[in-house]
């Protein structure tokens, strides 16, 4: 189950599948900070969603079984921070043998909300071009260095 329906691009509408009461009583999420795995777990438990990151879905509690005022525990097993797409735009994109260019945008499959490609700007401002790089080629992202590290050489890309 998802918290939102598919976007209606014609009317520019995104409908939520949550009630105002569910949102009022749900875990607090600071929209100015990256979403942590702890926040994801707290929201998953509160709303009764399956864990998309596990291969085996563990026991979830439907929202109506959670007592009012319940504490939402902070889990420390995993702390993979997510970033807003706006935070990574402009990151340098690196191949194994050097800089490829800069991350300019993403290509998203709106039916499943999957980022399939990175739109990478290569070259200088006079002779630049965009290259679509599959997200499966991403080896890592360095938040500290503002780099997207790819598998393979510049020639491959």
| Residue 137 contacts residue 150 (beta carbons within 8 Å) | yes
Give me the pLDDT at residue 15, please.
84
Banded pLDDT at 59 (limits 50, 70, 90): very low
Give me the pLDDT at residue 38, please.
72
pTM of the model: 0.50
Banded pLDDT at 62 (limits 50, 70, 90): very low
| Residue 27 contacts residue 72 (beta carbons within 8 Å) | yes
Using CB atoms within 10 A of its CB, is residue 93 exposed (0-12), middle (13-18) or buried (19+)? buried
* Closest C-alpha to 35, from 25, 43, 26: 43
| Residue 35 contacts residue 81 (beta carbons within 8 Å) | yes
Three-state DSSP class for residue 104: strand
- Say which residue the tokens 């995993």 belong to: 78
- Is the pLDDT at 8 greater than 70? The verdict is yes
Helical spans, DSSP H, in the chain: 20-25, 37-47, 85-88
Report residue 129: phi and psi, to 5°.
Answer: -150, 160
Read off the pLDDT of residues 110-140 as tens digits, 9 standing for 90 and up.
Answer: 877 788 899 999 987 777 889 999 999 999 8
What structural domains does the chain harbor? 1-82 (no CATH), 85-150 (2.30.30.240)
Give me the pLDDT at residue 148, please.
93
């Amino acid at each position: 189950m998802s918290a939102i329906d598919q976007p209606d691009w014609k009317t520019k509408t995104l409908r939520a599948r949550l009630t105002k009461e569910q949102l009022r009583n749900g875990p607090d999420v600071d929209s100015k900070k990256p979403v942590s795995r702890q926040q994801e777990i707290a929201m998953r438990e509160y709303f009764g969603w399956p864990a998309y990151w596990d291969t085996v879905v563990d026991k979830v509690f439907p929202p109506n079984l959670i007592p009012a005022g319940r504490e939402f525990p902070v889990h420390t097993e995993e702390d993979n921070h997510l970033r807003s797409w706006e935070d990574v735009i402009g990151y340098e994109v690196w191949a194994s043998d050097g800089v490829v260019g800069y991350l300019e945008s993403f290509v998203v499959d709106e039916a499943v909300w999957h980022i399939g490609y990175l739109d990478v700007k290569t070259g200088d401002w006079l002779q630049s071009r965009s290259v679509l790089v599959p997200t499966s080629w991403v080896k890592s992202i360095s938040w500290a260095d503002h780099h997207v590290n790819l598998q393979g050489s510049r020639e491959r890309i």
